[in-house]
Amino acid sequence: MNGRLLRLAWRNLWRNPRRTLITMAAIGFGYAMLLFVACLMAGLRHQMIESGTGLVLSDVEVHAPGYYPERPVDQTLGGPDGTDVNALVAAIAANPRVQAASPRVYGYGLVSATHQSAGVELLGVVPDQEQKITVLQTRMVKGSYLTGRMPKGVVMGDKLAATIGAKVGSEIVLLAPAADGSTGNDLYTVAGLFHTGLDAMDRGLVLMPLASLQELLRLPPEGIHEVGIKLHDDDITAATTAAAALDTQLSKTLKVQVRAWPELAPELADYVQFNHRVTFILFFIFFLLAAMGIVNTMLMAIIERTRELGMLMAVGMRPVQVVGLIVAEAASLAGASLVLGAAIGAPLLWYLQVHGLNLGGNRGAVSLGGVVVGPLWHGQQDLTAYAQAAVGLAVIALVSALYPALRAARFRPTEALRKI
Amino acid sequence: MDRVSRLFVSQSTIATMEMQITKKGRQRRISMQFWSLDESDILLRIRSPQEDAGTAILKVGNEIWYYLPKANRTVKIRPSMMMSSWMGSNFTLNDLVKQSRLTNDYTVATSFEGQRDGVAVSEYTLTPKPTAAVVWGKITLEVRQSDRMPVWQRYYDEDGKLVRELSFSEYKTASGRLIPTQLTMQSMGKAGKKVEKTTVTYEKIIFDRPISKVIFSPRNLKP
């Protein structure tokens, strides 16, 4: 296809602006629609992953070998003497895939207010760092999140507080098997209550400052169980790749096992993948709809021109040149239409990402299959899907132009001229 | 048979005992004092090591309280806590404080009688009664024929796998009755390997000395 042909094709397109604009609209709106659907789908996946990993799990977790999943209290990173926590966290944070990292300590035990007690999981975090990897601080319903100023302040789920009869400001006792085999116990104050919508957390999690939990469990300041990591890109493949890279990086200096969320929460990964397949089918249906519109308008446009093509051949254009011309027309038409579609789609995508669709009204977040889906459905940019849709539509446009073009090229000029 | 489960049962018991926990090659000793009255009321107070000293556990009827010296609080705990490992040992709180009569929940059958290692012994197999709410699938128990002293007791899960073994030794006379003063509980790891063990040794045990009911009160747990 040479430049002259392209110029001719472009001129041909504007010889009948109405027809061209109708075809452009068919492709452009089809593309905008696909962009919209892809953005919403990626947004749903992203939200599922975020809500599954964003509260406690995090995207990637670093443990000592043998720690996960039993979580014995004495299996700290770097052995019984622990490790240089700041250096480890800094080394992890230096990895380009990592957005933020935060050290953690886990324990289990009994929380008791005046007359009631309940078995709980204890999670010790550094409040400033933890807030960069998880979003529990945004789920506080009473009181406040942990601060560095209240070493004995803890936050717990609202349902747990109701069970044991504790309020913000209540004094509670924590009782936990410590790393040395003794039973750690101490008094704490409830600083705040959270509500996540996940029953297991709202009924069974107590969050406290890292140093306080280390003291309760008789762990040294160097003794931590886990580094939680937030990644820039947290989809299944990206998280698994990042975990493998971190494992290689950290294993040089420390005995570690690095796990990505699909391994830590396989049911979430299954759910995300299932959702991925369902939405792909949906995307494909939308694609077919868009494709049918394009085939229809393209076919009509070329068939309409059978007579014109016959004329061109009558004045000496070879059939192969005719086909080349049509393909050039279709290609430039598709290109222009996709640009138009992107122009229509861009503000929509921006709106979806920034503002989201409000689906739940004022009903609040709902828990679905172990993840909390918020009332706002935010979009997420999925460049791969956008590119796939563009290529797909362009191919459809070319093929649907090629078929009538080939047919017209096979006619003898006199025959073609007789067609309308 | 009933005699075995009644070995330590009396109107009242006062004992000093030491618990030695061996786990992953590390040892830990806990020294404690024990009071019981009428089978139902039990008080256990830890004397050493330093970090646990003062901790007290009280059971009155079906209620259990914990006194925590560091927090200086007495908390009531759920009975389900009784079934999990206590103080990192292989005993559950239930093993220590509940002197349940096995014959209430299990059907007893003699499975062996004769000589073992030159001692005449009887072995009994206990299978749970259909209505009993128990955790074990089966318990076997060996008793010396001469003085009806228990030798060992083995606990199996519902699949018939050996889970833990309690063995008795150091038979001594205290307050006019013969008892084993050393009890060792071993937990079985994978492939039936003995991985962890806890030994309880009674250093001093006195039966049937009058004890005031007052000490079995949650308000009096603070030393």
Find, in chain B, the residue whose alpha carbon is nearest to that of A110.
B77
**Cα torsion through A275, A279, A280, A283, rounded to 10:** -170
Is the preceding peptide bond at B218 cis, omega within 30 degrees of 0? Answer: no
pLDDT at B5: 61
Q: Cβ(A417)–Cβ(A307) under 8 Å?
A: yes
Residue to substitute from A154, A174, A183, interface B, most B β-carbons within 10 A? A183
| CB contact B173 to A (< 8 Å) | no
Which domain-ending residue is among A215, A235, A261? A261
Test mutation, B26, B28, B68, chain A, max A CBs within 10 A:
B68
Query: Pick from A261, A278, A296: which residue ends a domain?
Result: A261
A403 and A285 in a common domain: yes
| A218: chain B residues, CB-CB within 8 Å | 51
Q: Give the pLDDT band (50/70/90) at residue B191.
A: low
What's the rounded Cα separation, in Å, for the pair A141 and A146?
13
pLDDT above 70: percentage of residues in chain A: 95
Query: For chain B, what is the domain count?
Result: 1
> Which residues touch A17 (CB under 8 Å, ≥6 apart)?
none
Determine the Cα–Cα distance for residues B165 and B152; give it in Å rounded to an integer: 7
> Nearest residue of B to residue A176 by CA position?
B87
What pLDDT does residue B84 have?
A: 65
Identify the pLDDT of residue A120. Answer: 92
pLDDT band with cut points at 50, 70 and 90 for residue A209 = very high
With cut-offs at 50, 70 and 90, classify the pLDDT of residue A159: very high
Q: Does one domain contain both A70 and A31?
A: no
- Mind listing the pLDDT tens digit for each residue in A104-133? 999 998 898 877 888 899 999 999 999 999
- Which residues in chain B have Cβ-Cβ distances shorter than 8 Å to A182? 49, 51-52, 87-88
Among B52, B75, B80, whose Cβ lies nearest the Cβ of A173?
Answer: B75
**Residue A100 has what pLDDT?**
94
Give the confidence band of B4 by pLDDT, cuts at 50, 70, 90: low
Query: What pLDDT shows up at residue A364?
Result: 58
At B128 the pLDDT is: 87
What percent helix, strand, coil does chain A show, rounded to 5? 55, 20, 25
Structure token digits, residue B177: 């009755």
pLDDT for position A378: 82
pLDDT value of residue B9: 65
Specify the CATH number for the domain of residue B135.
2.50.20.10
Please list every residue in chain B whose beta carbon sits closer than 8 Å to the beta carbon of residue A116: 76
Q: Give the dihedral sign, CA A302/A303/A308/A311.
A: positive
Based on C-alpha coordinates, what's the Rg of chain A? 31
Q: In the predicted model, what is the mean pLDDT of chain B? A: 82
Q: Is the predicted pLDDT of residue B192 greater than 70, yes or no?
A: no
Contact status of B77 with chain A (Cβ, < 8 Å): yes
Grade residue B81 by pLDDT with cuts at 50, 70 and 90. Answer: low
Q: Tell me which residue in B49, B69, B88 faces A177 most closely, judged by beta carbons.
A: B88
Give pLDDT, residue A226.
Answer: 93
**Residue pair A124/A210 in contact by the 8 Å Cβ criterion:** yes
Q: How many domains is chain A built from?
A: 2
CA-nearest residue of chain B to A113? B75
Same domain? A310 vs A392: yes
Chain B positions touching A189 (Cβ under 8 A) are none
**Computed over its alpha carbons, how large is the radius of gyration of chain B?**
18
Among A112, A181, A185, beta carbon nearest to B88: A181
Average pLDDT of every residue of chain A: 86
Are B28 and A118 in contact (CB < 8 Å)?
Answer: no
Q: What is the mean pLDDT of residues A18-34?
A: 87
> Do the Cβ atoms of B75 and A117 come within 8 Å?
yes
Interface membership of B91 toward A (CB under 8 Å):
no
**Does position B83 have pLDDT exceeding 80, yes or no?**
no
Q: Mean pLDDT, to the nearest integer, of B21-46?
A: 84
pLDDT, position A205: 94
Q: Do B75 and A180 lie within an 8 Å CB cutoff?
A: no
Helix ranges restricted to H, A112-209: 127-133, 158-164, 199-204
The alpha-carbon gap from B103 to the nearest alpha carbon of chain A, in Å, equals 32
Distance from CA of A174 to the nearest CA of B (A): 9
Question: Which of A181, A187, A218 lies nearest to residue B71, judging by beta carbons?
Answer: A187
Confidence at residue A90, expressed as pLDDT on a 0 to 100 scale: 92
Same domain, A37 and A129: no
Rounded distance between C-alpha atoms, residue B161 and residue A360, angstroms: 52
What pLDDT digit, counting tens, does each position of A212-247 carry? 999 999 999 999 999 999 999 888 899 999 999 999
Report residue B26 as tokens. Answer: 């590390």
Residues A42 and A63 in one domain: no
* Distance of alpha carbon A347 from alpha carbon A353, whole angstroms: 10
Question: Residue B52 is nearest to which of A110, A173, A183, comparing CB atoms?
Answer: A183
Chain A contacts of B28, Cβ < 8 Å? 180-181
- Chain B environment of A73 (Cβ under 8 Å): none
Residue A198 clears pLDDT 80, i.e. is over it: yes
Q: Average pLDDT, stretch B107-133?
A: 86
Name which of A115, A118, A173 is nearest B68 (Cβ-Cβ): A173
Q: Is A110 close to B75, i.e. CB distance below 8 A?
A: yes
CA pair distance B102, B2, nearest whole angstrom? 8
CB contact under 8 A, A182 and B87: yes
Asked if pLDDT for residue A272 goes beyond 80, the answer is: yes
Describe the crossing of helices A319-354 and A306-314 by its angle, rounded to 10 degrees.
Answer: 140
pLDDT for A16? 83
Best mutation target, B51, B81, B91, B93, to test chain A (most A CBs within 10 A) = B51
Q: Span B85-107, mean pLDDT? A: 68
B55 touches chain A (CB under 8 A): yes
Residues A192 and A282 in one domain: no
Does position A373 have pLDDT exceeding 80, yes or no?
no
Query: Quick check: ipTM above 0.90?
Result: no
- Asked whether A108 and A155 are in contact (CB, 8 A), the reply is no
Percent helix, strand, coil in chain B, to 5, is: 10, 55, 30
Q: Transcribe A24-75 into DSSP letters.
A: HHHHHHHHHHHHHHHHHHHHHHHHHHHHHHTTTT-SEEEE-TT-TTT--TT-
Selecting from A173, A177, A181 the residue whose C-beta is nearest the C-beta of B73 gives A173
Contacts of A175 in chain B (CB under 8 A): 66, 68, 75, 77
- Residue A328 makes CB contacts below 8 A (sequence gap 6+) with A1, A5, A6, A8, A9
Q: Largest Cα–Cα distance of chain B, in whole Å? A: 55
pLDDT tens per residue, range B41-77: 888 899 988 888 888 988 887 788 888 888 888 888 8
A181:B66 CB<8 A: no
B70 touches chain A (CB under 8 A): yes
Instruction: Return the pLDDT at A293.
Output: 77
Does the structure show a pLDDT above 90 at A200?
A: no
Contacts of B93 in chain A (CB under 8 A): none
pLDDT at A9: 84
Q: Phi, psi (5° rounding) for residue B191?
A: 60, 30
| Residue-range definition of the domain harbouring residue B50 | 2-220
pLDDT at position A61: 93
Closest Cα in chain A, distance from residue B193 (Å): 19
Whether A182 and B73 lie within 8 Å, measured CB to CB: no
Across the interface, whether the CB atoms of B52 and A173 are under 8 A apart is answered no
Domain with A407, as residue range(s), is: 3-52+270-418
B195-222 residue pLDDT tens = 688 899 999 888 888 888 888 888 888 7
A interface residues, B as partner, C-beta within 8 Å:
110, 112, 115-119, 173, 175, 177-178, 180-187, 218
Contacts of A166 in chain B (CB under 8 A): none
Q: How confident is the model at residue B31 (pLDDT cuts 50, 70, 90)?
A: very high
Owner of token pair 């979430």? A268
- Centroid of chain to Cα A392: 23
Q: Are A176 and A109 in contact (CB under 8 A)?
A: yes
